[in-house]
Every structure is written in structure tokens, then in C-alpha cells.
Structure 1
Amino acid sequence: MLFRNFCRSIFVGLPIGVTFLDTVGYVARVEGVSMQPVLNPGAKNSDYVFLSRWSVREYDLKRGDIVSLISPKDPNQKIIKRVVALEGDVVSTLGYKNQYVKVPEGHCWVEGDHTGHTLDSNTFGPVSLGLVNAKAVAIVWPPERWQNLETKLPDHRRPITRSI
């Protein structure tokens, strides 16, 4: 009887949990220094962020959003970067093969906050919106770092021209 109730709970709970994680969002650990000082400001600890799948379901991104995406260099790796430019924007690059790039339709330009210590669009170019899978909305661990993540773009990284 106890075993049957346990199996029934798993049979009902597992699909609900998977649906929640796939539709609403999940918590993930952020590793590395590419998003410092916003994420992982200390060398010892990693931040854990809530990644909202719901907020990117229609690819409605804003400049300054911090997003999780599949790495264009390694499809088995997820990376977290800030959206600097959207389709139609012209961005001044930092070491990319062209000094200026117009972001093509269906793409965005992403960069890490820690310039020079990040693999981002300055390495691999504009990123297809189809690779974006979630938006980081809050730091949830450690407790002393609990905070919502702002959608902001440093003045020195604003696009040269913006699409409307």
C-alpha cells in the first residue's frame, strides 16, 4: 500500500515537475568570471540564479537582459551573458573580425560584463535567438546576495544605432 502510494505520487508529481522546469524556470549555478562584478563577485563562491524560461518564450528580449543560452562554440555548454544589441542595431565590437556589426534579423549580440575575460559575441559573432533558453531574473543563493537582476546596459556598450 505504501509502495503503491509512493509510485502514484511519482507518477503524478514527475510530469508536473518536468513541465514546471521546462515552462517556468529553474535555478542554476553560475561558474566563472565572465559576468563579474554582477555575478560571482568573489573568487570563492558561486552565485545561483533563477532562470526564467517563461520570460523568453516569445524571444522578447531587451538590451541589458542577462540571458542563458547554448554556446555557439560548444552545443553541450550553456553560457550566461548580457544582451548588448538586438536585430537591426549596429554595435561597435571589441576585437571581432569587423569593427562594426549590424545584428541580423533573428539574432542578438551578447557580451560578458568582465571585458577581456569572456567568450562572447566578440568571439563568435551575433547569436541566433533560438539559442537563448532563459533570462536570469534573480540571485537566489547565497542568502546575503539575494537580489533581482537589473536590466541595464553600461553606457560604453550601447549600440551605435538602434532599431525601433
Structure 2
Amino acid sequence: MRRRLIAERAAFAAGDAAADASRALAAALAAVIVELEPDCLGVYSPMRHEFNVADALEADSRLAALDLALPFARRDPVAMEYRRWDRRVASLSDELGLPTGAGPRVVPDVVLVPCVGFSADGWRLGYGGGYFDRWLAAHPHVTSVGVAWSFAEIDAQAAAAAPHDQLLTLVVTERGVVGA
């Protein structure tokens, strides 16, 4: 299922509807972030045609001064933390080769979590490494906002397959908020 959803996302990104959907998701996500009023927002660097959260941050001027952090993933032991990010092009990479912030370690109060798939009740299907799930389990007070395309909605049983899987607080798609 994971491979199929990633392939669907790639096909969607190449299609005519992607630009309008991206604008709609940017507006919906910006509205959610403004409403949540985070002190520090954990974001992610998009890969494999994930939604670029920078579009949402640019969609509302009230988000221009928001403190941001990017994940830093470790391979051994498998772990993730957030590092403050100054919005410049990330010049550092984590142990998985993903761009990360150069600032100090921080714990955001709201994190945006990319979803390969998601269920209406907040279960998330990711890439299978468990990085976000382990981090969320260690930080239960954090508001977790899944970011996905609406076509990636799946059955809850298909999304929650591992013991370490964590429920998201809500999911935002181009069609609006799911599971709030």
C-alpha cells in the first residue's frame, strides 16, 4: 500500500490538479497554524512529492516571524530530535541525508508530520522507519498535525500496523481538516 500511495502522489504532482490543490492545502494549513498559535513549529523538508510546508508559511503574513525547527534523524540508535531552523536553505544534513536546521535542539509545541497515508481518525502511514512515531510517543504534550493529500486517506487498520504508531491530533488536506 505504501508504494502505491507514493506512486499515486508522484502521478498527482505531475498532473493538472496539483497546483490548485497545493494552494488549497497551503491556505488550510496556514489557517490551522494561525489558530494553534505555536511558540515553535516543527516542520519538515519535503521529499517524494510531499507538500512543501513553506507554501503554507508564505500564505499568511502572521506566520513570518514564527520560530521553526527541522527534524534531525539518527540511524543508530534510531531516534529523532528537532533543531532550530532559520528559514535559510538548510546546509546541514541528518544521518539519513535529509536537510536539517543548524540551531540548537528544541522541542516544538506543534509539529507538522508528512503522511504517505492517513485514516480519518488520525492514524498515519509513513515511510516505515518510525522516526516521527517514536518522537511523538516521547512528547505526548505536542500537537501533531498530519499533512497529506486527500486521496491518501486509508482505512484505520491499514494505517496503524506497528505497536509504536501514534495517533495524530488532526490531519490537514487540500479539502480541509480531518479528525479535529
Q: TM-score interval w.r.t. the shorter chain? A: under 0.3
Q: Which has the higher strand share?
A: 1
Over alpha carbons, which structure has the higher Rg?
A: 1
Structure with more contact order per residue of length (Cα contacts < 8 Å, sep ≥ 6): 1
Q: Which has the higher helix share?
A: 2
Alignment TM-score, normalising by the size of structure 2? 0.26
